[in-house]
Structure 1
Amino acid sequence: MRLVLDACVLFPDTVRAVLLDHAAAGGFTPLWSDRIAEEWARAAERRMGGGAAARAQAALMAARFPGARVTGWEAHAAIAGLPDAADAHVIAAAVAGGADGIVTFNTRDFPLRIMAAHGLARLHPDEFLRLEYAPGGPIDAALDRLATPDLRRWLKHSGLPRLAKARAAARG
């Protein structure tokens, strides 16, 4: 499965780490455009003064996933009917990259009818990771590497409450 990662799932370090570790283990093929990577870096700069760090992370991500960068998306950017026209580039990247869907926290910005018209699924990262979660699997291993004292609380804070609940249930 080929999935475009929206900037909003790249900015929270926890979400990005778990998604990319799952991708590295073969769970899916991640995709993003330079514009998505730049949007992520700008968000990190605004919120935490970490734009340079985000750009460095983007370079590491590009090295880890050399086929992830989508180009030529501009030819597909004329998408009408979006609540926020500024999000057209994300759908355009998905179309240009031959993606199956988009992983985003901003589900309201990507109406299902528009996604379906482009043959794309809209996936919330919490639901996607919960459905992909298996005890002892790559997502579980990624969560173990986070080394956070109260992981369940941290996951909830990061927008992944269903994943936190699934992991807690699996661990008893």
Structure 2
Amino acid sequence: MTVVYDANVLYPNALRDLLIRLAQTDLIRARWTEQILDEMFRALSRTRSHIPASKHEKLRSLMNASVRDCLVTGYEPLIAGIDLPDPDDRHVVAAALRCRADLIVTFNLGDFPDDKLTDLSVSAISPDDFLLDLIGLDTKVVWACIQQIVDSRTNPPASIDDVLGQLERSGIIEATAVLRIS
């Protein structure tokens, strides 16, 4: 399954970390564009202005290097033919069409209405529902990715509860609840 991550799901740190780690597994093939990353970094700059631009560029490089074939290019000519409530989101759909994605993972489902996407053979899904689907496909892989996040956090150390709490605060409510009982 090929998915395009919208900027808003790449913004929260724990969710971004989990989505990237899941993209490194055989469960999904994740894609994004430099334009999507630009949006994410603009949001980070607005809310975390104390973080220097050099750290943003390092994160961009790490993200692009960590997921094989993640960058979608050549989607720009498709933008003009896409009709959405917010024209600024057309590039996300264009990228999904260009890479033949099955899903767009986004918090902004209202910006990607089914009636506009059905004929394009792509659907939008919330990150919570997306993670629920992946848990249903292979709970062990999702848990392994969460454990990798815990293991990578050493200063300060984090626990599974810490990471699940961060995901909850990011809006991943149902998937987190399922993970807590599984």
1:157 aligns with 2:159: no
Q: Name segments (4+ residues, structure 1) moved above 3 Å.
A: 148-153
User: Equivalents in 2 of 1:106, 1:79: separation in Å?
Assistant: 21
**Quick one: structure 1 residues 133 and 54, their matched pair in 2 at CA, closer, same or farther if it must change by over 3 Å?**
farther
Alignment match, 1:90: 92
Residue aligned with 1:59, SS: helix
2:141 to 138, 143, 157: 138
Residue aligned with 1:69, SS: coil
How far 1:96 moved relative to its partner? 1.1
Per-residue CA deviation, residues 107-131 of structure 1 (Å, 9 max, x unaligned), is 1100011111211021111111112
User: Equivalents in 1 of 2:17, 2:83: separation in Å?
Assistant: 32
User: Equivalents in 1 of 2:165, 2:64: separation in Å?
Assistant: 30
How far 1:136 moved relative to its partner? 5.8
Alignment match, 1:68: 70
**Quick one: structure 1 residues 27 and 37, their matched pair in 2 at CA, closer, same or farther if it must change by over 3 Å?**
same
User: Equivalents in 1 of 2:70, 2:165: separation in Å?
Assistant: 31
Alignment match, 2:20: 20
How far 1:56 moved relative to its partner? 1.7
How far 1:54 moved relative to its partner? 3.0
Structure 1 runs not aligned, ≥5 long: none
Aligned AA for 2:181?
A
Structure 2 runs not aligned, ≥5 long: 151-157
| Count of matched residue pairs | 170
Residue aligned with 1:137, SS: helix
- TM-score, normalised to structure 1, is 0.90
How far 1:158 moved relative to its partner? 1.1
- TM-score, normalised to structure 2, is 0.86
Residue aligned with 2:85, SS: coil
Q: Identity, % of aligned pairs?
A: 31
**Quick one: structure 1 residues 94 and 141, their matched pair in 2 at CA, closer, same or farther if it must change by over 3 Å?**
same
Per-residue CA deviation, residues 68-122 of structure 1 (Å, 9 max, x unaligned), is 1111111110245412110000001111112111000111100011111211021
CA contact (8 A) 2:4 2:104 kept: yes
1:169 aligns with 2:172: no
Compute the RMSD of aligned alpha carbons.
1.8
CA contact (8 A) 1:21 1:138 kept: no
CA contact (8 A) 1:41 1:52 kept: no
**Quick one: structure 1 residues 63 and 161, their matched pair in 2 at CA, closer, same or farther if it must change by over 3 Å?**
same
CA contact (8 A) 1:41 1:54 kept: yes
**Quick one: structure 1 residues 78 and 48, their matched pair in 2 at CA, closer, same or farther if it must change by over 3 Å?**
same
User: Equivalents in 2 of 1:28, 1:167: separation in Å?
Assistant: 19
**Quick one: structure 1 residues 165 and 137, their matched pair in 2 at CA, closer, same or farther if it must change by over 3 Å?**
same
